Structure 1
Amino acid sequence: MKHLKLFTIEGLPLMWSLYFLFESITGRVTDSETVIANLLLIILFAFTGYIVYVLSLRNLNGIPLKILFLFFSILILVDQGIKLVIKFFFFNERFEIFPNILSFHPIINTDGSWLNARFGTSVSFPLLIFSNIIFLFLIVELFRYFVSNGNKTFWSDMAFVFLFCGALGSLIDKVFYGGSLDFIGISNLFIADIKDIYINLGLYFFLLGSYSSGYLTSDDSSSFKDDMKYLKKFLLFMKTDLTHLLKR
């Protein structure tokens, strides 16, 4: 599709730039080192986008399910395996990898979500766990719905696997650690973990998938009525799935 290559390369830099602009406006960026570091990150993200575009050309019709499952397993093992090692052997370690830019700083984030940590929204832990489970179910159902309608693509596969891994990692953290075991310190902005990277990549792939399918283009001629019809079809599909699941 026209401009897809450009959007793929620019997607991650744009997402990060919007976040960095928000933090700058709210007064959390106060030194030139942070600005320079984030400019370097934008370049790195653009290069990552180019690699993603090359991979997408080689897998236009999606990735075989066996390989997708293997990829999913590796992502979960990387996220949770690193956390287990940190928890048992390095939890009390603190050091800077790149001074004032990137650090190793393990914590248990008991806020449970970025919204709670950043804005103090005080969403309860049980509600966060419940929403986590619902989100996992919706991701699976959306992916199954896409595949059943012949829309299996590289973008849908990547969006599914990264969003599902991120959400599952978040649920595991809440249940077993009482919060998120974060350890990647980015300047003075936040401390994140690998599942946060997964979730952001999942959103990136979801947006690219929506664009490549024509949903975000100006020539999309579907009306609100059409959108409601598609939503109704998805809800019916999900209801049928739930019915079959409960009958087992």
Structure 2
Amino acid sequence: MKAYIGLLPLAIQTFFSSNITTSTRMTIQHPPNPAWKAPFAAAISSQPVTFFQLATVSESLVPRCRTLTYAGFFGETPYAGASGIPASEQNPSGAESDVLLVASDARSSKFAQLQVSSSVEAVFFIAAQWTQFRVRGSAYPISFGARCGELERRGREHVEAHMARPDGWDWDKEIRKVWERQDEKMMKSKFPATTDETPVPDDFRLLVIVPDEILHLPPGGGPATTWTAEAKNGTAEWIKGEAAEH
């Protein structure tokens, strides 16, 4: 049922989410380091920068696709080498997750499309290995000060179910860390200068992709390896399998 709810407009998704059974609404805890994560990370590390395609659905229910830059697993990116953020205002190290991270701009049309449906598919082509990973799941906007309403509230809850967070970890500290790491010409030049009162621009957004299913397509054809998250007794297990899909 979850997959079908994700295709509905946000207002209808919210209605269903508040009216289905308690057991269905319960937040399912996922392991932050599932079996697919290591081969995915190893493939990504074979290239200096990773671009990928993200497919969403428009208001007229037409597929939309764009190329984005992968920024790592949410919570795991380090602080800048010469960080200007005081140590007392930094997150503690040790957070782990299987949530994919992109740094973005609230003015991008993809965020309006996520209000139609949070269901997405991301495709990573690893040229050095001639292999492909497809990540299916839900995407959410994350803002400094949590200004994106119900979709962000649900997103934060969903992300937390895929994370291991040390004591003292904070959402705004994480967003500020990602903002500081952005390139001056490629990203920061698009936004107004920050101040002590506004350490992160209002329109800066994190796009987080919470995975439900992974497909790994091997080089040269053959069946794809799949990993699918399945709930069991209040926690999730990733079940490995095969698929003929290409």
Name the structure where strand makes up a greater proportion of residues: 2
TM-score, length basis structure 1: 0.24
- Larger helix proportion of the pair: 1
The structure with the largest alpha-carbon Rg is 1
